[in-house]
Amino acid sequence: MQFTFDAPTVIRMKRDGGTLPDAAIDWVIDAYTHGRVADEQMSALLMAIFLRGMTPAEIAQWTAAMVNSGERLDFTDLRRGGKPLALVDKHSTGGVGDKITIPLVPVVMACGGAVPQAAGRGLGHTGGTLDKLESIPGFTAEISKSQIRQQLCDLGAAIFAAGELAPADRKIYALRDITATTESLPLIASSVMSKKIAEGTRALVLDTKVGSGAFLKTEKESRELARTMVELGTSHGLTTSALLTDMSTPLGRAVGNLVEVTESMDVLAGGGPSDVVELTLALAAEMLDAAGIDGVDPAQTLRDGSAMDRFRALVAAQGGNLSQPLRLRTSVETITAPRNGTMGDIDAMAVGLAVWRLGAGRSVPGERVQSGAGLLIHRRPGEPVSAGQALFTLSTETPERFEAAIAELDGAWSVGDAAPPARPLIIDRITSGD
C-alpha cells in the first residue's frame, strides 16, 4: 500500500525540528502546486522551515521537487552559425538598486553569449527585474517558448516570466513575500536554483549579496548560501560559480522601477555609476568564462555601443517602445543636507523599505506596482555635501505615501566630517568544492 501524507503531519514534523523524508517533500510540493495543500498550510510549513532550517539533503530534495513541479526547458538543439549556443545566465539573491541584469544581459549578448533568463518580480524590500522592465511602455515578459527559442538564436537573449517553470516556486515566492518568510537560506537557495535549473541554461553565475540590504545579513550566512546554490547547480549539470558582493549600501544612484531602467541605459551608453559598471563587468567576465567564451572584452561593448544596440533589439522583440523618453508623471519630495560635510554610509535596507513604501513593491499578492515609485541618491557615501543641497529625491504616484517612506529613512544616512571606511564591492568568488 502506498503511504500518503497530510499537511498537518508534515508541518508538525518540521515544527518539532525533524528532518522531512524525501517522500514528504515530494508530496507537499506536488500537493501545494495542484491546490491540495492550502495557502495557510504552506505558510505554516514555510515558517517552520524558516525557524528550524533544513539539512543539505532536504534542500536538494525540495529544490528537485520544485524543478519537477513544471517543465524543464532544453535549448541544447539550438545553433548559431552551425555551433551550439553558449547558454549562460546570472541570478542575484536580491538587493536594493540591483538593476545589474538590465545592462549585463546585453553586454553578454554582444560578446556572443546566449542568455535564457527566467526573471522574477520584487520580493520584500528588493526590486525585481520584471517589475523594472515592465515600466518600459509595451514591454512584456509573457512570451511563448517558441519566441524564447527564436530570440536566443537571432538576438542572444530572452527575459521571460517563469510561467510554467517551477510553478511551485511561483506560488511559494508570492506567499513568502507576504508572510515574512523570505530571509531563509533553504527557501532562497531552492527558489533561485529551481528556476535556474528549469530555465535551460548550461552555465550560471550567482550574485550572492552580503550586508544590510541582503536577505541574509552576515557574510558567513551569505557564503553558506552561495556554497549551497553552487553545489545544487553543479549536481544538476550546470557549470555554476558565485560572486559574494556588497549590499550594505544601495547599488548606483537609482532605486525603484523606471529610475533603474534609466540608470541602466546610462551604463549601456558608456556612463553610469562606477559601482554598477564594475559589477556588470565583473559578472560579465564570470559569465563569459563559464560559457567558454574568450578573447572578448565586455567593457568594449559599453564603449562601442554594441551592448546598447542589443538592449534596444531585445526590448523591441518583447514589445517595448524606447522611441520616447522614459518619463512618468509623479509627485516628488526632496531631502536636503543639514550641514556641510561628507556623506556617510546609506543603509540599503532602509532605502529598500522606503522605495517599497513609495509603491515600488507589493504588500498583498498580485498588487500593481508603480513604475514611477523610486528614489534618487544625489550624494553617495564619501562624496562632499554642502548644507541645503539635495541628498535624496523620492517619487511616487500617490503622495500620501511620502510620510511613511521618509520615516523609513530616518537614521539611515548621515553627513559627517570624514568619509566612511571603503568596502570592496566584490568580496569573494566561490566555486564547487570551496
Q: What 3-state class would DSSP assign to 303?
A: helix
CA distances from 102 to 2, 329, 401 (A): 48, 23, 28
- CA angle, residues 102, 108, 112, in degrees to nearest 5: 145
Catalytic residue set: 91, 169, 176, 191, 195
Question: Could you tell me which of 150, 164, 167 has the C-alpha nearest to residue 75?
Answer: 150
Q: CA end-to-end span of the chain, whole Å? A: 43
Check: CB of residue 122 under 8 Å from CB of residue 173: no
Q: Which is nearer to ligand URA, 93 or 371 (CB)?
A: 93
| 123 lies in the binding site for ligand URA (CB under 6 A) | yes
Q: Which of 120, 186, 272, 352 binds ligand URA (CB under 6 A)?
A: 120
* Minimum CB distance to ligand URA, residue 355 (Å): 17
Assigned C-alpha cell, 433: 568544492
Question: With CB under 6 A as the contact rule, which of the stretches 151-159, 186-194, 313-321, 365-373 interacts with ligand URA?
Answer: 186-194
Q: What is the largest CA-CA distance in the chain?
A: 77
Instruction: Pick the binder of ligand URA from 63, 191, 201, 264 (CB under 6 A).
Output: 191
Short-list 251, 193, 203, CA closest to 225: 193
Q: Please list every residue from 88 through 107 that binds ligand URA, using CB under 6 A.
A: 93-94
Residue nearest to ligand URA (CB): 191
Q: Cβ closer to ligand URA: 97 or 120?
A: 120
**162 is a site residue for ligand URA (CB under 6 A):** no
- Whichever of 192 and 291 has its CB closer to ligand URA, that residue is 192
Query: Can you tell me the distance from the alpha carbon of 240 to that of 90, in angstroms, rounded to the nearest whole number?
Result: 10
In the bound state with ligand URA, the residue whose beta carbon lies nearer, of 125 and 195, is 195
Task: Give CA–CA dist 73/159, Å, rounded.
Answer: 14
- Please choose, out of 35-43, 56-64, 191-199, 388-396, the segment that lies near ligand URA by the rule CB under 6 A: 191-199
For residue 192, state whether it binds ligand URA (rule: CB under 6 A).
yes
Nearer to ligand URA, 120 or 359 (CB): 120
Least distance from ligand URA to the Cβ atom of residue 8, Å: 26
- Residues facing 384 on adjacent strands: 342
**Amino acid at site 120:** G
Residues that bind ligand URA (CB under 6 A): 93-94, 120, 123, 187-188, 191-192, 195
